[in-house]
Amino acid sequence: MRAVVCRRLAEDFGQVAVDDAWPDPVAGRGQVLVRVAAASVNYPDLLMCQGRYQYRPDPPFVPGMNLAGTVAALGADVTGFAVGDRVAGSVRTGAFAELAAVDAGQLRAVPAALSLAVAAAYPSAYLTAYVALVRRANLQAGETLLVHGAAGGVGLATVDLGRILGARVIATSASADKRAALAAYGADHVLDVSGDFAAEVKALTEGRGADVVFDPVGGDVFDQSARCTAFDGRLLIIGFTGGRFATLATNYALIKGFSVMGVRAGEYGRRFPDKGQENIDAIWSLAAEGVTRPRVHREFPLDQAVAAMAELRDRRVIGKAVVRCDR
């Protein structure tokens, strides 16, 4: 089969390319073989190919975490699926390929209203948003949610889920084009993250600050976020795309009375399998109800997967870039 293969770790993805004769995977016990139509590009895909992610597969490996397609074959002990079903789900690696073996528990039927490209853009983004806002922060209707990196796939999903949960959503971005897209997407307020956004958040909240802060950026953004987190607020650490691990004096959290929480949606599901399945069911129920609004930035053919990764690295993506594995 054709697959995108990372043969050696490199900052510039120079060792990532299409292999036209990569071995076909086989569905093991409890797995489903999926003929992949589309796979979305996630920031961890980039970090894995650079050797900078907490999970470090040994090269050669096929990157890609989220996919959608049709069932090609069923492994032993799999029920609830049939050959030809439209499905979407997650793997740790292996999505950028024509075929992928996926644990059945990670797959869900794709609602009829969703294209396979949109379905591929859905799982990790909305699962991260759900675990962050529902499981970790317990976001309540009427609270103020501050979302950084809001124009990315996970950021947009968090803006969307915050809206669904009834929060007042403040979104940030350093890009004027992305701020315009966020305003059109429905964020209640959109701020320039490169300015003094902490002061603006306080002004918008009559000095209280944000009840929940979603921060995938870290560094200076985290430092400012600590200044505008409300008393009894929740400051969520999603990642460090800004490149610097921030530090926080513990007396600051004590005086302001807020909590700092790490969010790893996939690991949460591995540690708490029953809750993990509930989380997956919850996000796909929202999709079936038609209340979520995942956004595909652009579709790339398989042989342009590296270009899709570079576009995400260079911060040119609004929503999710998708690799078409059937083209």
Which sign, positive or negative, has the C-alpha torsion 129, 134, 140, 146?
A: negative
> How far are the Cα atoms of 197, 275, 286, 291 from residue 282, in angstroms, in the given order?
32, 10, 6, 12
Residue 60 sits in the same domain as residue 173? no
Q: What is the pTM of this model?
A: 0.92
CB–CB of 215/233 below 8 Å?
Answer: no
Structural domain includes residue 242 = yes
Structural domain includes residue 97 = yes
Q: Return the pLDDT at 14.
A: 87
The model's pLDDT over 9-32, given as tens digits with 9 standing for 90+, comes to 998 898 999 999 999 999 999 999
CATH number at residue 25: 3.90.180.10
Domain count across the chain = 2
CATH number at residue 240: 3.40.50.720
Burial per residue of 287-319, b for 16 or more beta-carbon CB atoms within 10 angstroms, e otherwise: bbeeebbbbbbbbbebebbbebbbbbbeeebbb
Nearby residues of 100 by Cβ (< 8 Å), 6 or more positions away: 25, 33, 34, 36, 64, 67, 69, 91, 94
The model's pLDDT over 71-92, given as tens digits with 9 standing for 90+, comes to 999 999 999 999 999 999 999 9
The model's pLDDT over 187-227, given as tens digits with 9 standing for 90+, comes to 999 999 999 999 999 999 999 999 999 999 999 999 999 99
Structural domain includes residue 114 = yes
What is the average per-residue pLDDT within 307-324? 96
Residue 104 sits in the same domain as residue 180? no
Residue 142 sits in the same domain as residue 92? no
What is the residue range of 180's domain? Answer: 125-266
Structural domain includes residue 272 = no
> How far are the Cα atoms of 131, 246, 278 from residue 217, in angstroms, in the given order?
18, 10, 28
> How many CA within 13 A on the CB side of residue 244?
8
Residue 165 sits in the same domain as residue 241? yes
- For the chain, the farthest-separated pair of C-alpha atoms sits apart, in whole angstroms, at 61
Residue 151 sits in the same domain as residue 252? yes
pLDDT at 252 over 90: no
Strands 144-147 and 189-192: unpaired
Angle subtended by helix axes 305-313 and 43-50, to nearest 10:
100
